[in-house]
Amino acid sequence: MVRSGYEWNAAHRRKIQAEFSYYVEAKRIKTELDSLPKALAIECLLKRISSNHHQRDYLENQFHRASAGIRGEDRMVNKFKEFTMKEEHLPMWDLNMKIKKWTVQIDGLLLTERCAIVMDSKNVSGEIHYNAATEEYYKKAMPGGEILHLDNPVFQLDKHINFMENWFASQGINLPVKGLIIYTAKNCVFQSKPTGALICKTYQMNGYLHRILRDSPLTAVSHPLQDIEKLIAANQVPFELSPLSETYRINFKDLKTGVYCNKCGGHGMQRVKKSWICSACGNKDAAADRLAVQEYFALVSDELTNRKFREFSGITDSDAARRVLSKYDLEISGVRKMRVYKMRKK
């Protein structure tokens, strides 16, 4: 069909307007978007699967373990507030570090002029047993006596000590590395521990730290502690979590779609102009789409398109979905309908 001059001009104007809007959105100040922490990501996944889903019990267990780990680390950090020593010392918490393809997550690191001390937190309750013959740990629930085998925490601590020794060497830093394992659960009872390993409870932690430092002579540290702290901080890498639907083999069709309402807990938020209103309770939240975008990357895939976001969020209009995605500082490849969004690596 041959277009009239008016029709051609109107279509041309729409094309120019669309290209201009893309340009304006590209230049607009973007909002940074962080990855969801593991515990929060699992909690979001639990809210999007049915109560009788075959993976629900396992996911609830994983959520409990992830949440307990965070609580345990918080107890360790709070207890350290009581730690004092005359010599300079600098604590660092929740470190994510990498040497080539070797990545580690270290709960705590104490920098002193005598040594660096790796602190590994374990929030495990019950009776803790150690079998010297097999070098295996297990716990018995209290009461009931159910046995659960545990990873040997000494092996993990040794791995973290070895990592820090290698990392210091790669940076030309001369500082010995020691380690301490802290069990943070309030109802934890040691029935046996390996000889030679430094393992304590939260209330004992500061005393054990002082014991390590008393046994460590002053070192000719090659760098000021503040410089080492800054170097470690500058070399943090983001914790990379695979989409949970892949990790736990959950089909996208099993997920409830929609945007979450932080008031009633449903997924019925509807896009109204530049805000979101819950169809169930009337709650209004202009920032509701932020969690929806974070959820998609955490639960579904590390790549997002306009169509996929509409399927996940329930937005029906492609322009509205584009405007939502354009608010966030995401890596973008492709143009127009072929555009792909990814979380920006920091």
Tens-digit pLDDT profile for residues 170-198:
999 999 999 999 999 888 888 888 877 79
DSSP class of 338: G
DSSP class of 344: P
Continuous H helices in 28-80: 38-48, 56-80
What percent of the chain lies above the pLDDT cut of 90? 64
C-alpha distance from residue 180 to each of 61, 65, 191, 199 (Å): 27, 21, 18, 6
pTM greater than 0.85 (yes/no)? no
Q: How far apart are the first and last CA of the chain?
A: 51
Of 116, 100, 119, 97, residue with least CA distance to 108: 119
**pLDDT tier at 17 (50, 70, 90 boundaries)?**
low
**What pLDDT score was predicted for residue 20?**
46
Average pLDDT, the chain: 88
Encode 251-261: b = buried (16+ Cβ within 10 Å), e = exposed.
eeeebeebbbb
Identify the three-state secondary structure at position 119. strand
Encode 134-167: b = buried (16+ Cβ within 10 Å), e = exposed.
eeebbbbeeeeeeeeeeebbbebbeebbebbeeb
Q: Cβ(87)–Cβ(33) under 8 Å?
A: no
**What pLDDT score was predicted for residue 151?**
81
Does the pLDDT value for residue 25 go beyond 70? Answer: no
**What pLDDT score was predicted for residue 24?**
44
